[in-house]
Amino acid sequence: MPRKLRFEHDDYVVIGRRSGLPTTLSDITTSVLNGLYLLRPDEATLDIIYGVLGRAQARWAFDLYAFHVMSTHWHLLGGFVSARQRARVMRFVNGEIARRINRLRGRTGPLFERRYASIQVLSDAHALDRVGYIMSQGTKAFVVGHPVEDPFACSTPTLLEGRTLYGTWRSRAGTKRYAIDISPLPSLAHLSPRDQRATLRALADDIARAERPRRKKAGRRLMGAERARTIDPMTRQTHRPRTPAPVVHGTRAQEAAWREAYGRARDAYTEATIAFRAWQADQTAPMIPWPPCTVPPASGWVEAVEDGARAGP
């Protein structure tokens, strides 16, 4: 089965705070191999993850609105100027996290079970809903009773308390500390930082209030932060719920428009790829640019020329 085309509909954009350019919002999820607890929230893991994210922000001007790293998977809501930038950022972040966590755990091989899944966010209301979903991870998993108590590597301390997160990047060139820059959601950017935190704190209170009866009905006790930090990382998650992911986070009308644009981009991508394969066999054959809202195959690149983008080897 072929992979889904990496595509961003450029009709749904905001102006990025860090880049100053039109930016699309992506809700990204990456799962750990076999549901292992390799990303448990001990101090070393938090330092690695914060350092990698801080390093990525130093290299690419992308907006980070929220993130949460559970022991078995992690979520990120970010703003990227293109699908290509998103691919580069996620390849770097997931690759560096995998290498460094493997070294920490004394293991080899893949850490994540597949490429990240990305869903475009098309409206302000859905973006705020995704921030709430990301903040709720530790509470929904019955680890803590309120998002503010969350022990995992996450943006919640910044979102609710204004606390800056720092991590360490270690390389052959030396050691450097990075601060993670959490951007306000575009729909909240007009508010003062204090009012932004108050809005998100009310959202976190709603999450805690909604989860109490669910936990009581399930007959579950809270795991607690200390247990989450010390659980054996080779523990395997026994129950891994699988629910179909939505195509986009938006209204039905927005989803319909997105599907139509995706179909056009997919057809144009196929046409450009066929032309590129023909060009590889005969370099006198004409080439067609890949759609700008997609990521060309690894064997090709796109060069800007006077009459538009040109596909090449």
130 located within any domain = yes
Residue 105 shares a structural domain with residue 131: yes
Same domain? 241 vs 272? no
Q: Looking at 220, 250, 280, which one is the last position of a domain?
A: 250
Cα 44 to Cα 144, 169, 184, 217, 237, distances in angstroms:
21, 12, 27, 35, 21
**Same domain, yes or no, for 190 and 84?**
yes
Together in a domain, 276 and 207: no
Residues 20 and 125 grouped into a single domain: yes
Which residues are CB-contacts of 114 (< 8 A; sequence separation ≥ 6)? 31
42 DSSP 8-state letter: -
Cα torsion for 183, 78, 32, 96, to the nearest 10°?
-80
pLDDT, tens digit, for every residue of 228-261?
999 999 999 877 667 788 999 999 999 999 999 9
For residue 43, tell me if it sits in a domain.
yes
Tokens of 104: 């920490």
Domain that holds residue 300: 256-312
Residue 22 lies in a domain: yes
Categorize the per-residue pLDDT at 306 as very low, low, confident or very high, splitting at 50, 70 and 90.
Answer: very low
* pLDDT tens digit sequence for 84-131: 899 999 999 999 999 999 999 999 999 998 889 999 999 999 999 999
Task: Judge contact between 45 and 101, C-beta under 8 A.
Answer: yes
Q: 111 and 182 share a domain? A: yes
The share of the chain scoring above pLDDT 90, in percent, equals: 78
Residues 245 and 263 reside in one and the same domain: no
Q: pLDDT per residue over 1-55, tens digit each?
A: 467 888 889 889 999 999 999 999 999 999 999 999 999 999 999 999 999 999 9
Q: Are residues 146 and 73 in the same domain?
A: yes
Same domain, residue pair 114 and 226:
yes
Residues 6+ apart with CB under 8 A from 120: 8, 9, 12, 24, 25, 26, 27, 248, 249, 250, 258
Query: What's residue 120's pLDDT?
Result: 95
pLDDT at residue 4, rounded to an integer? 80
- What tokens appear for 289 in the block? 């640019």
Report DSSP state, residue 68.
E
Domain boundary among 231, 250, 269: 250
Please check whether residue 143 is in contact with residue 228, taking contact to mean a CB–CB distance below 8 angstroms: yes
At 302, the pLDDT band (50, 70, 90 cuts) reads very low
Average confidence score pLDDT of the chain: 91
Apex CA 252: angle with CA 246 and CA 253, to 5°?
Answer: 130
Give the 3-state secondary structure of residue 7: strand
The string of DSSP letters for 169-198 reads EEETTEEEEEEE-BPPPGGGTTS-HHHHHH
Alpha-carbon gap, residue 154 to 137, rounded angstroms: 10
Residue 311 has pLDDT above 70, yes or no: no
Q: Is residue 167 part of a domain?
A: yes
Q: Quick check: is 6 in a domain?
A: no
* Residue 229 and residue 275 share a domain: no
CATH number for position 100: 3.30.70.1290
State CA 75 to chain mean position distance: 5
> How does pLDDT run across 125-173, given as a tens digit for each residue?
999 999 999 999 999 999 999 999 999 999 999 999 999 999 999 999 8
Is 9 domain-assigned? Answer: no
* Same-domain pairing of 58 and 173: yes
Which tokens sit at 308?
A: 């538009």
Residues of the chain with pLDDT > 70, as a percent, come to 93
Please give the structure tokens belonging to residue 242. 């699988």
Identify whether 160 is part of a domain. Answer: yes
* pLDDT of 309 strictly over 80: no
pLDDT one-digit tens code per residue, 217-233 = 989 899 999 999 999 99
Is the pLDDT assigned to residue 61 strictly greater than 60? yes
Residue in the block written with tokens 């306000």: 184
Strands 165-171 and 301-305: unpaired
Residue 289 sits in the same domain as residue 211: no
If DSSP codes are grouped into helix, strand and coil, which group holds residue 266? helix
Among 250, 278, 303, give the residue marking a domain's end.
250
Distance CA 289, CA 304 (A): 10
Q: Which one has a higher pLDDT value, 306 or 118?
A: 118
Residue 72: inside a domain, yes or no? yes
The number of domains in the chain is: 2
Facing residues of 309 across strands? 304
Write out the DSSP string of 115-150. --EEEEE-SHHHHHHHHHHHHTHHHHTTS-SSGGG-
Per-residue pLDDT tens over the stretch 187-227: 999 999 999 999 999 999 999 999 999 999 989 899 999 99
